[in-house]
Chains A and B, each alone.
Chain A
């Protein structure tokens, strides 16, 4: 047995990138301050020293240029990993990603195996420009894949699978999880989390919570509380991949517990919960023993003020309250 070391979410991600760059010299990193500085959150610290400036490229502050350059490199047979310093600024590259990258295979037969990754999410008092969850903006773009790990294991497994994928993958990493989540990962084990497969995070009987990212942990906390205080057995499904969604796993949990609560940190209107609810409605309507519920952020740009941020973002107690209501329905 290989020894297991406790690593943070961030370290697991770093290891995944490192291993892929060691394995395949077509893999390279580009982004703002990723080189000498090691990235705003130090994800790529030490990479320049090991892999050199030609494989860890500091770029100008232009997300459109970063994504565009990555796309060109991918067409030419490389495996670029582009970092958005904060995922909020991916909107500057929206045109490149949706009009160009996502369509390249369909429009011109061009393979574009590339990863765009960056820190997302709130709960860190980051305010409206440094806390966003942009998944819904890209969910509607055929041609992209979106992964959103919640565990250290999946942080590593999904970055590796994303790099190896033949299509463009948006890899969202929650900055609140970076150093909060720690996990024993066996040294020397090759971790490859398959894209498109959800993970059963907690088995339960009475009600299912479907979530991902930071709210996955809040959902698990809520599930423990409900089990203890109400005797309600809650199942929690970690989506891991948002595009394509794992319909089979979603339907399976609905058929098992018959009650579903979807929890996400992104705002409510047009959020992914709506899409999941629609799919459950189409594929498992007759298995529902209660309305499909959502716990999400309120529909406002995220405020700076701590009290307001706490109010706007979904908290464990919000999940408990909604689940309690649904359990009794």
Chain B
């Protein structure tokens, strides 16, 4: 029998601790590898954590409701002899790169293919992040992700050395998140100048923002922040502090969109999709983000990172806070695909079924408080992005319209305000307004064929 330590996993960028919300197994229960072992609630998401190995749950070190830092020993599994030696590489890791993983040397150990037709020792990465395994050498603790990041093929190491690239920063698409040749070549191509590690801005840790204390008055209720409140608060202040916020307002005539929507809403509903104005707006943005790469970017130190993918975040207001699930590759989706994604992410946000990956790697954000009726609002940029679009109420208003013969009249039109906050460090007014003008144009002339 061998023992495998189960640790509190790192579930995303800048997340330092997690609450063990529920044990799904009791001490003495047999567990299969990748079988859900416990549930956690982190700053941003709730997730089931699969067992890193097969065996028997021998000890529980963290009780339900306890909040512990990541890497804390949570449980111990007893596995059959040899299972540990052959399986640790199988633990899959979250796909998102970590900004600054500690550098550790791990001897290269590609999974030795056993027979003539090897079965993959590492399954394709699952969307869930299994608990990391404590390294057996006693020399500190690494997450499974960190250990895998330091494993790489000779070719990838050679390329990394030639281009002074830190492999651990590259998202890997190989087995168990391993960085492949394609990954590193793509990374180098996209990011020709990479700031040296020392110059990289540190991610915002918990407690980095101080919120001044205020004396409560008698009868007041003092409610300590939930984690999601705390991270939102820190993030908003940090964003205001680091970005040069400027806002542009565009009034958009949604009459055509409203007509199209009314026409096809029923057909969409029959396909299980609720078609909203937001879907049209997201579609118009996604299309134009590809054309205006500076709006689909991030700031890193003294560099601009132009994002290769167009991943549009949609802010969702929940009873317990705000969350921004992300539509990946939104520019590759049709209107119905976007509408479906918005429905799906919203539903899963409300039912706490979002996976860590669902809220990561956004490149642009849309927030849509229009349903509540504001004329317009000025949103705060979702760092490290450089722009966020706010949608005002869409309603019928009197509007001056010109006929083709030049005569003007007042008509009843479906109007709405689009507001974009952008980071003037990298996005100039002309960039932002050209982008918004293009978005407006798509919305006002929305092609019927695209519905």
| A residues at B contact (CB < 8 Å) | 258, 268, 285-291, 293-298, 314, 317-318, 321-322, 325, 328-329
Minimal beta-carbon separation of A248 from chain B (angstroms): 19
Residues of B within 8 A of A317 (CB): 117
B116 touches A295 (CB 8 A): yes
- Chain B residues with CB under 8 Å of chain A are 110, 112-113, 115-120, 124, 153-158, 174-175, 178, 180-181
| Complex contacts, B118 vs chain A, CB 8 Å | 293, 321-322, 325
- In the bound complex, how far is the Cα of B116 from the Cα of A285, in angstroms? 22
Report the separation of the CA atoms of residues A289 and B175 in the bound assembly, to the nearest whole angstrom: 12
- A258, B117: Cβ atoms under 8 Å? no
Contact call A328/B120, Cβ cutoff below 8 A: yes
Residue of A298, A314, A322, A328 touching B113 (CB-CB under 8 A): A322
Asked if A294 and B116 make an inter-chain contact with CB atoms under 8 angstroms apart, the answer reads yes
CA distance A321 to B120 in the complex (A): 9
A293, B120: Cα distance in complex, Å: 12
- Please name 15 pairs of A and B residues whose Cβ atoms are closer than 8 Å in the assembled complex, sorted by A: A268-B116, A286-B157, A286-B158, A287-B154, A287-B158, A288-B153, A289-B180, A291-B110, A291-B113, A295-B116, A295-B117, A321-B118, A322-B113, A325-B120, A328-B175
Interface SS of B by simple majority: loop
Whether A318 pairs with B153 at a CB distance below 8 angstroms is no
Closest to B156 in A: A289
Within the assembled complex, what's the spacing in Å between the Cα atoms of A295 and B158?
Answer: 27
| Least CB separation from B184: chain A residue | A289
In the complex where A328-B174, A329-B174, A329-B175 touch, is A290 in contact with B116 (Cβ < 8 A)? no
Question: Residue B124 contacts which of A285, A289, A314, A328 (CB distance < 8 angstroms)?
Answer: A328
The interface residues of chain B lying within 8 Å CB-to-CB of A289 are 153-156, 180-181
A321 and B117: CB pair below 8 A? yes
Residues from chain B with Cβ under 8 Å of A288 in the complex? 153-155
B116 near A314 (CB under 8 angstroms)? yes
Contact A296 B180 (CB under 8 A): no
Are A318 and B175 in touch, CB under 8 angstroms? no
Cα distance, A290 to B181, chains bound together (Å): 9
CB distance from A72 to the nearest CB of B (A): 42
State the CA gap A296–B118 with chains docked (Å): 12
B161 and chain A: residue at smallest CB distance: A286
Contacts of B153 in A (CB 8 A): 258, 288-290, 329
User: Min CB distance, A323 to chain B, in Å?
Assistant: 10
Q: Could you tell me the distance between the alpha carbons of A293 and B116 in the complex, rounded to whole angstroms?
A: 8
A104 CA / B155 CA spacing, docked (Å): 44
Complex Cα gap A326–B158 (Å): 19
Give the distance to chain B from A123, nearest Cβ to Cβ, in Å: 15
Which residue of B113, B155, B157, B180 is within 8 Å of A325 (Cβ)? B113
Q: Which residues of B are found within 8 Å of A286, using beta-carbon distances?
A: 154-155, 157-158
Residue of B153, B156, B157, B178 with most chain A CB atoms under a 10 A cut-off: B153
> How far, in angstroms, from A317 to B112 measured CA to CA in the complex?
20
Chain B minimum-CB-distance residue to A321: B117
Residues from chain A with a CB closer than 8 A to the CB of B158 are 286-287
Question: Taking the nearest CB of chain B, how far is it from the CB of A139, in angstroms?
Answer: 20
Instruction: Provide the residues of chain B in CB contact with A329, threshold 8 Å.
Output: 110, 153, 174-175, 178, 180
CB-based nearest A residue for B152? A289
CA distance A328 to B183 in the complex (A): 12
Which 3 A/B pairs are nearest by Cβ-Cβ distance?
A: A318-B117, A289-B155, A289-B181
Measured between alpha carbons, how far is A290 from B120 in the docked complex, in Å?
A: 13
Determine if A322 and B116 form an interchain contact, defined as CB atoms under 8 angstroms apart: yes
Complex Cα gap A321–B113 (Å): 12
Contact B154 A285 (CB under 8 A): yes
Q: Which residues of A contact B181 (CB under 8 A)?
A: 258, 289
Query: Which of B115, B116, B157, B180 gathers the greatest number of chain A CB atoms within 10 Å?
Result: B116
A293 — which chain B residues lie within 8 A by C-beta?
113, 118
Cβ distance A319 to chain B, nearest Cβ, rounded Å: 8
Please name all residues of chain B whose beta carbon is closer than 8 Å to the beta carbon of A294 when the two chains form the complex: 113, 116
Q: A258-B153, A291-B113, A296-B116 are in contact. List 14 more A-B contacts (CB 8 A).
A: A258-B155, A286-B157, A288-B153, A289-B156, A291-B112, A294-B113, A295-B117, A298-B115, A318-B116, A322-B118, A325-B120, A329-B110, A329-B153, A329-B180
- CB neighbours of B124 from chain A (8 A): 328
Q: For B110, what are the chain A residues with a Cβ–Cβ distance below 8 Å? A: 290-291, 329
Minimal beta-carbon separation of A309 from chain B (angstroms): 14
- Write out the residue numbers on chain A whose beta carbons fall within 8 Å of the beta carbon of B113: 291, 293-294, 322, 325
Specify the chain A residue showing the minimal Cβ separation from B112.
Answer: A291
Q: Which residue of A lies closest to B174 (CB)?
A: A329
Bound-state CA distance A325–B175 (Å) is 9
Once bound together, how far apart are the Cα atoms of A150 and B118, in whole Å? 26
Which single residue of chain A is at the shortest CB-CB distance from B121?
Answer: A325
Report the separation of the CA atoms of residues A217 and B357 in the bound assembly, to the nearest whole angstrom.
43
Cβ-neighbour of A287 out of B112, B117, B120, B155 (below 8 A): B155
**Whole-angstrom distance from the CB of B154 to the nearest CB of chain A?**
5
